Amino acid sequence: MDLQERARQRCHWLPDLSASSPPMYKALVEQLAQDIASGAIKPGDRLPPQRLLADALQVTVGTVTRAYREAERRGLVEAKVGSGTRVRGTQEQAPNFHHLTRAGQDSIDLSLSVPIPNPLRQQQLSAMMEQLSQMPEALQTALNYQPEQGCLEQREQLSAWLAQQGLSIAPEEMIVTEGGQHADFLTLQALIKPGEAVASAALTYPGMIAAARQLGLKHLPVPTDSEGIRPDALERLCQQQRIRLLYLMPEYSNPGGEHMSLARRKAIVEVARRHDMLLLEDGVQFVPATLRGKPLFELAPERALYIFSVSKLLAGGLRFGALRAPANLMPQLRAALRAQCWAPPGLMGAVACRWLTSSDADVLLNWQWQALQQRQNILSEVLAGYPVRSHPCGFNAWLPLPEPWRASEFVQHAEKQGVTLIASDPFCVGSQPAPQAVRICITPPPTDDILRQGLERLRAMLDEAPPMLAPLI
């Protein structure tokens, strides 16, 4: 058997380039893209070593190297020292949202970041829709196709409401989105090319991880401290490679609960300016003005985008939010939104804006902000002595576990005790090791007492050692 035949037999992925025209490295990348799309080669599969594939295809090693590099730039594969080049995750492999499965009927759910249950939500929505049904002009507007930036009247309403909350965003600076996750995805899709790099805290919101992966972007983790992303670490990363965008939650991060001081925000802005990097501030976990620091778009209006959503204020099912962006980026964002869905839904915007700007919503939001503070107090009381990190108006808290608990064991054991919560894994960027920590969401239980019961069960677990594992051989 000759060298080529032996090499062909050892290649578990062997593209057929017989009908391809030069340059061969491009043909190789195209074939790879097709084979990934058809499922012939799967996320996580390793590509053959370069010399082996070169021998099998009778091309130079340089051709294969160039093809692999181009495939990496396009986000098709990922090269790692020591483990070769592997097909990157696509939709199927992107972080799944199994953690969004609701807890069982009998379990106390501390796993989801949702608004605190209150029958007022249904009552207010019902009253709002009844009012709207009697307003022919508003109904006609809702029936019309909307401009891709969203209905102007709705943007004006939202802008006025945000101004009352201490945030100055003009209607022309915002584009209406179908919630915060859509704003994340839209930003990445419109402004970052496949293969380019974005960065975030090493532990971050899983929706961002999913969006970056789905779009074939490189997503790099930045080390954090008690204030979130460290500017020195970010600077070092930017010196090593071009980062197009930094995603962050300066108020309190999900899941880690870190809050950024003004000095820290300014230091991050300095790094961003030095390396011409965009800043994407996720403000979905909206806190009252008295507790809010300076948004990044006030410190760096030329490069900061800001995400707003009603999901944590009114209800996640409304799918209504907005993205603030510098004027020069708006045409790209508008074009991307147009391509995705033509325009945001007018009816949903009409309902969400009318509700948010009503006095009913003031009652609801003030109740929720107080209730959050009360629940945070319960959390601090029940878990006193453990290093919980949170925010006075936070939906979630972060709990590093005492030795020798492991996060996965803790979550499993909690489930047996009737408490559902999430370990650190879904929040980890790339293949970062997951810390032994869990996220505790304090909002899903219907009452404070049920929350307390759930936390007390966790406390009892923390105070005791984990059950012994059967030794393995």
Binding mask 96-135 for ligand PLP (x = CB under 6 A): -----------------x----------------------
Q: What count of Cα atoms within 13 Å lies in the side-chain half-sphere of residue 241? A: 14
Amino acid at 297: F
Nearer to ligand PLP, 231 or 321 (CB): 321
Shortest distance (Å) from residue 222 CB to ligand PLP = 16
Of 186-215, which residues contact ligand PLP (CB under 6 A)?
Answer: 205, 207
Of 314-353, which residues contact ligand PLP (CB under 6 A)?
Answer: 316, 321
What secondary structure letter does DSSP report for 172?
A: G
Shortest distance (Å) from residue 208 CB to ligand PLP = 7
Nearer to ligand PLP, 28 or 199 (CB): 199
* Site size with ligand PLP, rule: CB under 6 A: 15
* CA proximity to 242, closest of 263, 217, 207: 217
Using the rule CB under 6 A, which residue among 53, 222, 272, 284 binds ligand PLP? 284
> What is the Rg, in whole angstroms, of the alpha carbon atoms belonging to the chain?
25
Q: What count of Cα atoms within 13 Å lies in the side-chain half-sphere of residue 447? A: 3
Helix (H) or strand (E) holding 349: helix 346-356
Nearer to ligand PLP, 348 or 379 (CB): 348
Of 243-262, which residues contact ligand PLP (CB under 6 A)?
Answer: 249, 254
| CA–CA gap between residue 171 and residue 165 (Å, rounded) | 15
Region from 189-197, 217-225, 281-289, 380-388 binding ligand PLP, contact rule CB under 6 A: 281-289
- Listed in sequence order, the residues at least 6 apart from 113 whose beta carbon sits closer than 8 Å to its beta carbon are 254, 285, 312, 395, 396, 441, 443
Q: ∠371-375-381 over CA atoms, to 5°?
A: 145
Region from 99-107, 279-287, 322-330, 402-410 binding ligand PLP, contact rule CB under 6 A: 279-287
Please check whether residue 222 is in contact with residue 234, taking contact to mean a CB–CB distance below 8 angstroms.
Answer: yes
The structure tokens listed for 469 are 């594992």
Region from 44-52, 139-147, 271-279, 282-290 binding ligand PLP, contact rule CB under 6 A: 282-290
- Listed in sequence order, the residues at least 6 apart from 447 whose beta carbon sits closer than 8 Å to its beta carbon are none
Nearer to ligand PLP, 149 or 285 (CB): 285
| DSSP reduced 3-state for 439 | strand
Using the rule CB under 6 A, which residue among 35, 251, 282, 360 binds ligand PLP? 282
The structure tokens listed for 287 are 């806190």
The structure tokens listed for 402 are 């005492």
Nearer to ligand PLP, 180 or 349 (CB): 180
Using the rule CB under 6 A, which residue among 50, 63, 146, 181 binds ligand PLP? 181
Using the rule CB under 6 A, which residue among 43, 95, 180, 349 binds ligand PLP? 180
* CA proximity to 188, closest of 251, 276, 247: 247
Nearer to ligand PLP, 43 or 256 (CB): 256
Please check whether residue 35 is in contact with residue 13, taking contact to mean a CB–CB distance below 8 angstroms.
Answer: yes
Shortest distance (Å) from residue 149 CB to ligand PLP = 18
Using the rule CB under 6 A, which residue among 15, 48, 179, 216 binds ligand PLP? 179
Shortest distance (Å) from residue 109 CB to ligand PLP = 14
Shortest distance (Å) from residue 320 CB to ligand PLP = 8
Binding of residue 285 to ligand PLP (CB under 6 A): yes
- Quote the distance between the C-alpha of residue 260 and its chain's center: 18
Exposure class string for 323-337: b at 16+ Cβ within 10 A, else e: bbbeeebbeebbebb
Binding of residue 311 to ligand PLP (CB under 6 A): yes
Residues that bind ligand PLP (CB under 6 A): 113, 179-181, 205, 207, 249, 254, 282, 284-285, 309, 311, 316, 321
